[in-house]
Structure 1
């Protein structure tokens, strides 16, 4: 049995419109809180079978939590190296799952370098987004969606390092859905995928200034750009305010807390926002609710104040 669970696919009339149904693939309901468990769990199982006795991750958020969850399930010790920007909520969640946490550097790249230095003969590095095993695992969500609902006219997802995008495109192609376009959504302060599409190659965008820190990869993986070349993938940008507002609305509408990195893709579906041409001609839309374990009541209040809107959650 895989470490991840099969998540529900539910229709959202509140995000749909006349002539367009929106289907939510509820990856926020994975045990560690995000889609990451699909690919990370597969990678951890793979390395465990090959004799790994320890797992090492470089992630201050959802990937690290997925590694910690997988390590606990497999009976393997886990070390997670995180940057200094990692929220205390995420640090505590990692420790609660039994992971050893090391804080190093001001960015994920620096934390990743430190994680590489910890690799020994009996340890396996679990990359947060750039690994074919991850893409294979993430592709399973499309296989599930194909069993659960109609063929989508478009898929909407958030893109950070590009692992989810690579997995979804793989899943679409495995279904023979080569014609289904993907809207790959980023916030303006973390737009490494957009930069790659403009440059025609992956590039380092320097500092991450977005509040959607889970999208904060300064350079997307090469596979993300390959997907853009080989599949109808459209880069979409939203502001931090739009992403935060979408996360807050989602709590009101669907009673599930997601972080702004997930809110970025949900913002594209906002009724009051400009409709992307791909959505305008899609009768069935599949939205990947990727989740985010760093989201909580206090964080929601902070986001609401930042976005200048009423907080939907008033008690802890």
Structure 2
């Protein structure tokens, strides 16, 4: 079997977050992956399975999926075309080019870029790499939970797993990973920002919902429709998936607090999961009886993010304080 492209990332205890949550908080540091986020797990696995003899890969992504596809393609010595929406920050475009990818800007939101990627698949014969909606991706992402189980050791299990949701690929991988290690009774707290809340909207409506627009600044959570599998999991009686929202301001505050306390800069999409602890939401869920009062250790998947630097952080602060 070919060696995977992802790393086994550290599981670190956060003293500051543990104090706030009233239980031990472990951070699964996916920000330390070679491409900057968890996406390399699924996309690496997908490309190893399907892109070996390929003329090249094409991926539609305003950030992390594109970075992962570009990194993996460079390692495999095949060309990569990444189609991004115009909302993608310049620093992402530069990082994609630094990985050797051809970058095309099409449309305003991810859905527009994705239509172009599918067109290139048909006309150029490229291997289309989906950013979140494919079983091979979920299989790759499931490895994150296998590593958590190995790090915690026999007999120890999380009280809950906290995860950000965009298109739902990581959520599907986490569910699969929990099933693989026999932890289906561990609740998942699925976090989104208001304005990029396609999963929450679907859970509330009891059916898949397509958002009119992405109004959140957490652009990497910006899919207008969550993948069908993620929605199906939310309706599944053997699983507890708690869908919650935070504001952009709360997500940004989480990013800043995390930078201060843990010395790590992540993007706002990742801040949504961190905000579950920083904003007191976990405590509220306990008060409401939706999480146990005596809660085992929390595992926060620090999904990372390549579309943030200090300049972008300053820009977001000005924009959200205005």
> The residue matched to 2:141 in structure 1 has which SS?
helix
Which of these residues, 294, 299, 305, is aligned with residue 286 of structure 1?
299
Matches of 1:128 and 1:168 in 2, distance apart? 16
Matches of 1:305 and 1:276 in 2, distance apart? 31
TM norm structure 2: 0.92
Q: Are 2:194 and 1:181 aligned?
A: no
Q: Which residue in 2 is equivalent to 1:96?
A: 98
Matches of 2:258 and 2:157 in 1, distance apart? 24
Q: Are 2:220 and 1:217 aligned?
A: no
Query: How many pairs does the alignment contain?
Result: 308
Q: Which residue in 2 is equivalent to 1:300?
A: 313
Q: Which residue in 2 is equivalent to 1:56?
A: 58
1:53 deviates by 2.2
> The residue matched to 1:241 in structure 2 has which SS?
helix
Matches of 1:272 and 1:54 in 2, distance apart? 46
* 8 A Cα contact 2:157 2:296, kept in partner: no
Long gaps (5+) in structure 1: 310-316
* 8 A Cα contact 2:97 2:103, kept in partner: yes
Matches of 1:64 and 1:99 in 2, distance apart? 9
Aligned pairs (5 A) from 1:113-124: 113-120=115-122, 122-124=125-127
Long gaps (5+) in structure 2: none
1:26-56 deviation line (CA, Å, top 9, x unaligned): 000001110000001111111123x222100
Q: Which residue in 1 is equivalent to 2:49?
A: 46
Q: Which residue in 2 is equivalent to 1:84?
A: 86
Matches of 1:298 and 1:104 in 2, distance apart? 24
Alignment RMSD: 1.6
Matches of 2:57 and 2:285 in 1, distance apart? 41
* 8 A Cα contact 1:19 1:283, kept in partner: no
> The residue matched to 2:245 in structure 1 has which SS?
strand
Q: Which residue in 2 is equivalent to 1:314?
A: none
Which of these residues, 189, 194, 203, is aligned with residue 197 of structure 1?
203
TM norm structure 1: 0.94
